Amino acid sequence: MAPDPRPMAQPNPSMRIDPSLGIVVMEFRDRSGAIAATLPTQRELDAYRSAQRRGGAEHRAAQPSPQPTPPMAEPA
């Protein structure tokens, strides 16, 4: 049996975590497999990075810490 000449299929869109921002980025690929678009867009990612450099640490420090959700009661 001859090997299949088609490249392995990749999920489209795919998701990754941007380690410097800690956010999920969705990547949409074209037929050749190259990244055609992202959500957030590259412009938005650059804006997040710029805000982080300008004072994102102070903004994060001012936000309240998330509180754990109490467990739901068992039905009677």
pLDDT of residue 62: 55
What type of residue is 3?
P
Asked if residues 7 and 33 have their Cβ atoms less than 8 Å apart, the reply is yes
What is each CA distance from 17 to 8, 23, 26, 32, 56, in whole angstroms? 22, 5, 9, 23, 18
How far, in whole angstroms, is CA 15 from its chain's centroid? 6
38-70 residue pLDDT tens: 999 999 999 999 999 888 555 555 556 666 777
Give a yes or no: residue 25 inside a domain: yes
Give a yes or no: residue 52 inside a domain: yes
Give a yes or no: residue 34 inside a domain: yes
Tokens coding 39: 């959500």
Give the predicted TM-score (pTM) of the model: 0.57
pLDDT at 36 > cutoff 90: yes
pLDDT of residue 5: 63
1-28 residue pLDDT tens: 666 666 667 788 999 999 999 999 999 9
Structurally, the chain folds into a number of domains equal to 1
Asked if residues 16 and 27 have their Cβ atoms less than 8 Å apart, the reply is yes
Give a yes or no: residue 68 inside a domain: no
